[in-house]
């Protein structure tokens, strides 16, 4: 077979002439091989899809990290498809050296056009190696907060609290700051109230009461203990409650303290103005 044996590999004119010459020389036999090659491709892709599903189930049974499963299966699938295509090309009779030269020229052009995509692939590999987060973690990055819904080789999908899916390119994600709120087992909840300076404000009593309120929640850990940080400013006194809890209980305890501290201010008729401010760590 003399298909694509052009003196200048990758030249469109040479390729067209080679294709015409190949069909003219081989005729019906060439058409048969192309048809059989297409059938092989169809069956091969179905088999690869089956292998991918079996591989995913095997990873699940072996408790492989859920972050790595989709990436590894995708890489295996792409590799098998490339091998299948090369095998079919060889069966049809296309010289591999010319075909690879053509692919190289096309790959260079595509690579230059998709430089950003290549950067995202590199970013995805970096994320998988250094593991700043995993599936299900709650993270903040690039002005977005939410749970890591899925990780792909090109991008990472974040699910926000109001159930929106935001796709972030891995190139940007790997090169920016990422705050992972799920890494540590314990988190500290900080909620503050601010009251006007007045004779009615007895610091020791308020400090004791706020400590009791925070400690009363079953979500509050006893170690580290609850701390009330008092700051006295011009005409104001600020009481910041710092309570520790499990990472999964953070938002529940945060909401509890917000509500209970507000109720305490109203019940004790503490001098206004006051504000209730929540601070995230």
Model confidence at 85, pLDDT cuts 50, 70, 90, reads: confident
The answer to whether domain 12-113 has CATH 1.10.287.1260 is yes
What pLDDT is attached to residue 5? 45
Q: Pick 3 or 189 by higher pLDDT.
A: 189
**Paired tokens of 208:** 């004791």
pLDDT, mean of residues 259-270:
92
3-state SS of 13-32? HHHHHHHHHHHHHHCHHHHH
Hey, what CATH topology would domain 186-279 get?
Alpha-Beta Plaits (3.30.70)
Residue 179 has pLDDT above 50, yes or no: yes
Quote the pTM value: 0.58
Lowest mean pLDDT among 77-81, 179-183, 246-250: 77-81
**Separation CA 15–CA 94 (nearest Å):** 12
Residue 113 has pLDDT above 60, yes or no: no
What pLDDT is attached to residue 121? 77
Cβ-contact 2, 21 below 8 angstroms: yes
Model confidence at 187, pLDDT cuts 50, 70, 90, reads: very high
Same fold across 12-113 and 186-279: no
- 135-170: pLDDT as tens digits: 889 999 988 999 999 887 788 999 998 999 999 998
Hey, what CATH topology would domain 132-180 get?
SH3 type barrels. (2.30.30)
Query: What average pLDDT does the structure give for the chain?
Result: 80
Task: Say how many CA atoms lie within 13 Å of 276 toward its Cβ.
Answer: 14
Annotated domain spans of the chain = 12-113, 132-180, 186-279
- 223-253: pLDDT as tens digits: 999 999 999 888 889 999 999 999 989 999 9
């Amino acid at each position: 077979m003399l298909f694509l044996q052009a003196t200048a590999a990758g030249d469109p004119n040479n390729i067209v002439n080679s294709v015409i010459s190949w069909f003219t020389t081989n005729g019906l036999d060439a058409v048969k091989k192309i048809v059989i090659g297409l059938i092989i491709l169809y069956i091969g892709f179905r088999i690869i899809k089956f292998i991918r599903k079996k591989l995913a189930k095997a990873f699940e049974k072996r408790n492989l990290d859920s972050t790595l499963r989709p990436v590894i299966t995708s890489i295996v699938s792409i590799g098998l498809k490339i091998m299948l295509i090369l095998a079919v090309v060889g069966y049809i009779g296309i010289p591999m050296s010319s075909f690879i030269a053509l692919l190289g020229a096309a790959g260079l052009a595509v690579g230059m056009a998709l430089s950003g995509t290549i950067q995202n692939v590199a970013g995805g590999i970096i994320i998988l190696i250094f593991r700043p987060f995993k599936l299900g973690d709650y993270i903040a990055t690039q002005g977005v907060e939410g749970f890591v819904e899925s990780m792909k080789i090109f991008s990472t999908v974040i699910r926000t609290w109001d159930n929106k899916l935001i796709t972030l390119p891995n190139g940007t994600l790997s090169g920016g700051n990422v705050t992972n709120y799920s890494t540590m087992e314990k988190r500290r909840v900080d909620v503050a109230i601010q009251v006007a300076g007045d004779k009615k404000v007895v610091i020791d009593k308020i400090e004791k009461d706020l400590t009791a309120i925070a400690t009363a929640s079953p979500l509050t850990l006893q170690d580290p203990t609850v701390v009330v940080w008092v700051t006295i400013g011009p005409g104001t006194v600020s009481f910041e409650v710092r309570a520790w809890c499990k990472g999964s209980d953070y938002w529940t305890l945060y909401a509890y303290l917000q509500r209970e501290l507000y109720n305490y201010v109203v019940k004790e008729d503490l001098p206004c103005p006051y504000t209730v401010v929540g601070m995230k760590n």
